[in-house]
Amino acid sequence: MNLNNQVALVTGAAQGIGKASALALADAGAHVVVADIDRQGAEATADAIMSTQRKSLAVQADVGDLQQIDRMVRAAIEQFGQIDILLNNAGVTRRADIMDITEADWDRIHRVNAKGVFFCLQRVAQEMITRRSGRIINIASIAGKGYAGASNVAYAASKGAVISMTKLAALQLGKHNINVNAICPGVTRTPLSDANLRVRAQQEGVSVAEMEQRRAAVIPLQRANDPEDIAAMVVFLASQGARNVTGQSFNVDGGLIPD
């Protein structure tokens, strides 16, 4: 799991899975470019990394905007000279029934979760191809594999797109020695999922604590993920131990989706 002196770019790294993964990559030895639309959050994560004696750079970026993606990547290259690892983590959603999804919901969710993932992958791959080396890790979701508890249909569709992109990108970038994999988290304790949990609790007229118990009860291992559970898989997929792993979508979900 030694990532000494490698450079990782993590999107959506101000909180949740992105922050935990950025810290885990740094703990494994990587220098980390911390990207997020929330500048202060990105800077806080970068400060936490630098306190561990690893180098870090905070970049404010909206991954739904191709010009900002390019600016983010150029900032990483100017600072570190290379990108060895991309963690495509930035994502959005909201809790909604199928009949309540609007065109604005669809466009917002796919702009970040599908378009953003692809164009971050494409732009970083340009840099990796010249060096004939790279690891791209996309955060998908078990929602993209049909999980009934998905926050909404548009979100599930966007994550299904990430899984498909991962497979095709792995096939087409393999000749450049670039590995592309996806992680499909199940129920994970993040600010985004907690917000959805509160909405669901309100809709069903129960307390948040009771809803948390219900959520854990349906998981075979009887516990939701912490962001660090996903971060551990990120570090593995970035490591030499996964050098021959590509085109895969790994569930980290306590057994919710047998796959």
Domains in the chain, ordered, with CATH?
7-186+226-250 (3.40.50.720), 189-224 (no CATH)
Per-residue confidence (pLDDT) for residue 79, from 0 to 100: 98
Which residue has tokens 């809803």?
211
**pTM of the predicted structure, to 2 decimals:** 0.94
30-78 tens-digit pLDDT: 999 999 999 999 999 999 999 988 999 999 999 999 999 999 999 999 9
Residue 143 to residue 130: CA distance in whole angstroms: 34
Per-residue confidence (pLDDT) for residue 1, from 0 to 100: 74
Per-residue confidence (pLDDT) for residue 194, from 0 to 100: 77
142-158 tens-digit pLDDT: 999 999 999 999 999 99
169-180 tens-digit pLDDT: 999 999 999 999
pLDDT level of residue 13 (50, 70, 90 thresholds): very high
Q: What is the mean pLDDT of residues 99-126?
A: 98
Residue 172 to residue 237: CA distance in whole angstroms: 18
CA angle centred on 159, ends 127 and 157, rounded to 5°: 130
Q: Is position 155 annotated as part of the catalytic site? A: yes
Per-residue confidence (pLDDT) for residue 254, from 0 to 100: 96
**pLDDT higher than threshold 90 for residue 123:** yes
Among 130-139, 183-192, 220-229, the range of highest mean pLDDT: 130-139
Residue 243 to residue 47: CA distance in whole angstroms: 30
**pLDDT higher than threshold 80 for residue 9:** yes
Per-residue confidence (pLDDT) for residue 197, from 0 to 100: 74
pLDDT level of residue 215 (50, 70, 90 thresholds): confident
Pairing of strands 178-185, 249-252: parallel
**pLDDT higher than threshold 90 for residue 8:** yes
Q: What is the mean pLDDT of residues 182-210?
A: 84
- In the chain, where do the E strands start and end? 7-11, 31-36, 56-60, 85-88, 134-139, 178-185, 249-252
Catalytic-role residue among 80, 147, 155, 250: 155
What average pLDDT does the chain have? Answer: 95
Which residue has tokens 């340009």?
126
**pLDDT higher than threshold 90 for residue 228:** yes
Per-residue confidence (pLDDT) for residue 181, from 0 to 100: 99
Question: Within 13 A of 237's CA, how many CA atoms are on the CB side?
Answer: 29
Edge-first strand order for the sheet with 7-11 is 56-60, 31-36, 7-11, 85-88, 134-139, 178-185, 249-252
Residue 239 to residue 258: CA distance in whole angstroms: 25
Per-residue confidence (pLDDT) for residue 33, from 0 to 100: 98
